[in-house]
Amino acid sequence: MIPDSASADAARMAARRGGLIPVARMTMPDRTRAGTGAPGDAGRVRARSGAWLALALAFTGLLAAEVAPAQPYPTRPLRIVVPLAPGGTTDILARMTAQRLSEVLGQPVVVDNRPGGGGTIGNRIVAQAPGDGYTLLMATPTMTINPSLHRDAGYDAVRDFAPVSLIAAIPIVLAVHPAVPARSVKELIALARAKPGTLNYASSGSGGGPHLSAALFADMAGIDIVHVPYKGSGPALTDLLGGQVQMQFSGLPPLIAFIRSGRLHALAVGGVSRSSALPDVPTVAEAGLPGYDAASWQGIALPASAPKRIVDLLAGEIARFVATTEARTRLAELGAEPVGGTPQAFAAFVRAEVPKWAQVIRRAGARAD
C-alpha cells in the first residue's frame, strides 16, 4: 500500500533523526480477484515508489550536508574596513590588529579605509557584506551613534552586526583653558549654573563622540553650555589653547601633552575608571556627576550572518593579542586602555550604547554635519 499521511509523517521524522525514509513495499493489484485492473494502476504505483525513493535520497543528501566538516578558515586574504580616515588612533589600532591576525591566521589582512558620512559609509559596507568572515569592521562609537543621527544610516547596529571583541577604550577628557575659574567638575557646574549660556565648548564636529559626550554632561548636570563645532579636532584644539573657547571634551591623545605642560587643565575623564595616563585625574562620576560614562572605543565586528565558529576564533585571537606586553605598551603610548572580552560581552555593550546615545541625540537636537 502507499503509506497514508500519518505513516508519511513518521517516515519524515525518522529521516530527521538521521535515518532514511523507507521505501514502502508496493503490491500489484490482484487481477484474478479483482477481475480487471484499471488501466495505468501499475504505472502509478511505480511512479509513487520512485517518488519515495527520490525523497529518501534527498533527505540523505541533507543529512550528509549537516554532518559534513566545516570548511577551513581562512583560505584567502581578509580585510578590516576602517570607517575613518588613515592616520588616526582607530587606523593605527586597525593596523596593529591586522598584523597580528595575519601572523596567527596565515593569511594577509588588509586595512581598507572607507571614511565618509561620519563613519556611516564604512559601517554600512560591512553590515551589507557576506557573512563569510572575510570582511571585518573596525567598530567605533559611530556604529552605535549614527543610526540615531542619520535619517538613513543603512544599517541597524544591533541587528546587522556580529560583535567579536572590544580591543581598546580611549578616555574622553574634560579639559578647560587655564583662564576658566574652575578646577573641578563641581566648580565648573556651579559656574555654568551661575552664568547660563556663557561658557562654550569646542568639538570636532556636530554629532561626533566629543559633541555628544558634552551634551550628555550638560543634560545630566542641568546646565546650559554653548556648542561650537569645528571641522576636525585640530582646529578645535587650536582655539581651546588660544582661549577662543573655554572647554572641550576630547579623546585623550591629542590633549595629553598640553595637560602635562599646564597649558590645559584636565578636570576629569569620562569613563568608568581613571586613565593610566592621568592617574590623578578623577572620573566625571567621581568628581560630582554620578552615572556619567563616555569613552571612545574600538573593536572588531562581522556581518550578522557570520558563523559562530569564526566569531569565536577571532575573539580568541584578539583576546590573546590584547593581553600581550607588546600590545599593552603600544596602547599606553596611544593613550588607550586594553579591553578585550567575549563576543557576548561586546554584544551586550552595543545593545546598551544604542538607546543611551539615541536619547542624548534626541534631547540635544543633534544632527550630522
pTM (predicted TM-score): 0.76
Quote the percentage of the chain above a pLDDT of 90: 67
Q: Amino acid identity of 208?
A: G
Does 24 score more than 60 pLDDT? no
How many whole angstroms separate alpha carbon 290 and alpha carbon 227? Answer: 23
| Residue 234 pLDDT grade (very low, low, confident, very high; cuts 50, 70, 90) | confident
Instruction: Please state, in angstroms and rounded to a whole number, the distance separating the CA atoms of residues 314 and 145.
Output: 25
- Any bridge partners for residue 302, and if so which? 162
Half-sphere exposure of 324 (CA within 13 A, CB side): 11
pLDDT for 343 equals 98
Query: Can you tell me the distance from the alpha carbon of 289 to that of 329, in angstroms, rounded to the nearest whole number?
Result: 31
pLDDT greater than 70 at residue 306: yes
- Provide the 3-class DSSP secondary structure of residue 294: coil
Indicate the pLDDT class of residue 55, thresholds 50, 70 and 90.
low
In the chain the domains, ranked by start, together with CATH numbers, are: 5-67 (no CATH), 78-170+297-364 (3.40.190.150), 171-287 (3.40.190.10)
What does residue 56 show for φ and ψ, rounded to 5 degrees?
-60, -45
What mean pLDDT comes out for the span 125-152?
Answer: 96
**The pLDDT of residue 253:** 85
Q: Are 203 and 236 in contact (CB under 8 A)?
A: yes
Decide: residue 64, CB within 10 A, 0-12 exposed, 13-18 middle, 19+ buried. Answer: exposed
Q: Which residues pair with 176 in a beta bridge?
A: 247, 265
pLDDT of residue 29: 44
Report DSSP state, residue 160: S
Distance CA 211, CA 217 (A): 10
- Least confident interval from 3-17, 132-146, 181-195: 3-17
The grid coordinates of residue 173 equal: 577628557
Render pLDDT for 220-229 as a digit per residue (tens, 0 to 9).
999 999 999 9
Residue 219's contacts (CB-CB under 8 Å, 6 or more residues apart) are: 360, 363, 364
What are the beta bridge partners of residue 174? 249, 268
Supply the pLDDT for residue 16.
Answer: 44
- pLDDT at position 148, please? 94
- DSSP secondary structure letters along 317-348: HHHHHHTSHHHHHHHHHTT-EE----HHHHHH
User: Is pLDDT of 268 > 90?
Assistant: yes
Whether residue 289 contacts residue 187, with contact meaning beta carbons closer than 8 Å, is answered with no
Mean pLDDT of the chain: 85
**Considering only 23-32, 227-236, 322-331, which range has the smallest mean pLDDT?**
23-32
Please report the pLDDT score of residue 145 as a whole number. 95
Question: How are the residues of the chain apportioned to helix, strand and coil, as percentages rounded to the nearest 5?
Answer: 45, 15, 35
Pairing of β 265-269 and β 247-251: unpaired
26-35, 234-243, 250-259: range with lowest mean pLDDT: 26-35
What whole-number distance in Å separates Cα of residue 4 and Cα of residue 9? Answer: 9
- Whether residue 329 is predicted with pLDDT greater than 90 in this model: the reply is yes
- Which of 13-27, 96-110, 157-171, 309-323 is least confident? 13-27
Question: Residue 53's pLDDT is what?
Answer: 55
Q: What's the confidence (pLDDT) of residue 12?
A: 46
**pLDDT: which is higher, 121 or 89:** 121
- What CA–CA distance (Å, rounded) separates 239 from 228? 10
By mean pLDDT, which of 11-25, 49-63, 155-169 is the weakest? Answer: 11-25
Task: Give CA 84 to chain center in angstroms.
Answer: 14
> 317 or 85: which carries more pLDDT confidence?
317
Say whether 110 sits in a helix, a strand or coil: strand
158 vs 89, more confident: 158
Q: Which amino acid is at 344?
A: Q
Reported confidence tier of residue 71, pLDDT bands at 50, 70, 90: confident
Using 50, 70 and 90 to split pLDDT, how confident is the model at 132?
Answer: very high
